[in-house]
Amino acid sequence: MESTIEKIDNKTNRNKGDNKRFTAPQIPKLNFNGRKEPLHDTTWIVVRADFTDMGGRPLAPGTVFWESPDVWVQSSAGINQPVPGENNTVFARINNYGLQNATGIMVKFWWADPSLAITEATAHLIGTGFVDVPSGWSVTLQCPAPWVPVVENGGHECLIAEAFIQVTDPLTAPMDPMDDRHVGQKNEQLLLLPKGAKFVTKVRAANITDSRKELRFDVQALHFDPEHPLVKMRAASLPANVKPAGTTMPVALQFHESHPNFISKSILFAERMILRGLEKIEEELVEALEHSQVTHKAHFEPWESRVLEMTGEVPEDAEVGQSYLFRIEQRIGNMVTGGYTVHIVVV
């Protein structure tokens, strides 16, 4: 098991490769979801949801919580390109924004089937490591056990890292990065395809409540930013001339199975989602409607699970290096309960 340590620049919330001893500066009060709070005098362990995340929870409605920059995998194919059937190495970056050194942090690494709703009942433990993180630093920890993605999913499983101190800085909402700063989730897939190629991305949709619900699925086409840090992480796996697409790629949604399955109940997870999310958030819903390229709705029984397929075809006039970026979001009412990001690059 290996780890590397980096100093946190509190002005930009970026990590610097500077291993000099760090003296915590006088930091002004931070805005945590509208509440003015000072940094804690204790540890403040965070596995970030995005590059601006300082640990305020719950995250704002509509936040993309499944693209954590602090969870990734390295394989023979590169960064965030898992290869089924061989040993892959999973990493997590643990940040300590508190004013007290954090010792004995337990870090759990998990994988789950590509899913729009991951619970503790659907995840599989890869390995557990331990690490210390001084105040104002971040540490990158390698999972002590290799991860061998399953062939059935083509290696495109979801990854989760949980970093916590059991007594003094514990998990408060396992598997839920919306409610718990200790949890980071990576639900992403990179596809390198030639022009004219057809593709199918399969993700598992689930009703994580104990009552019948209408689930809504939105596919949003996003602007591709070649300077985004997550894209730069994959630079070695991408064409040198990667750029935004100049054409639109049509996609469709459909269910793969004629007969639904059911997942194991996770009452605690369901209760958290219901308590937080069944409020009316009309602004969020309107914004999703305006930006959705495809919308699909279906009624699900309690704990029902189905495989949702997003299908598409790379345009024949696409150029090498052009990139298409899609997010699949699952909603119950106005509440986002999960998501999956698909990045397609023409090769």
* Alpha carbons 141 and 147: distance in angstroms, whole number: 14
Kindly calculate the radius of gyration of the chain based on its CA atoms and give it in whole angstroms. Answer: 20
pLDDT of residue 333: 77
Q: What's the mean pLDDT when you consider all of the chain?
A: 81
The answer to whether 219 touches 327, Cβ cutoff 8 Å, is: yes
pLDDT of residue 234: 75
* Alpha carbons 3 and 165: distance in angstroms, whole number: 17
pLDDT of residue 13: 47
Percentage of the residues of the chain whose pLDDT score is greater than 70? 78
- 158 has a pLDDT exceeding 70: yes
pLDDT of residue 265: 65
Tens of pLDDT, residues 311-343: 999 999 999 999 999 999 998 877 788 899 999
CATH match of 191-346 with 2.60.120.20: no
pLDDT of residue 264: 66
Query: Position of tokens 């780890």?
Result: 3
* Alpha carbons 318 and 105: distance in angstroms, whole number: 47
Selected residue with higher pLDDT from 6 and 106? 106
* Alpha carbons 147 and 316: distance in angstroms, whole number: 36
CATH match of 3-186 with 2.60.40.10: yes
Centre a 10 Å sphere on the Cβ of residue 95 and count the other Cβ atoms it contains.
Answer: 27
* Alpha carbons 151 and 230: distance in angstroms, whole number: 25
Confidence class for position 66, pLDDT limits 50, 70, 90: very high
Task: Give the residue extent of every domain in the chain.
Answer: 3-186, 191-346
Question: Region 302-318: what's the mean pLDDT?
Answer: 91
CATH topology of 3-186 equal to that of 191-346? yes
Residues forming beta bridges with residue 252, ordered by sequence position: 311
Rounded (to 5) percent helix, strand, coil in the chain? 10, 45, 45
Tens of pLDDT, residues 218-242: 998 888 787 777 777 777 777 778 8
- 188 has a pLDDT exceeding 50: yes
pLDDT of residue 235: 73
DSSP 8-state symbol, 87:
-
- 133 has a pLDDT exceeding 60: yes
Question: Region 280-295: what's the mean pLDDT?
Answer: 56
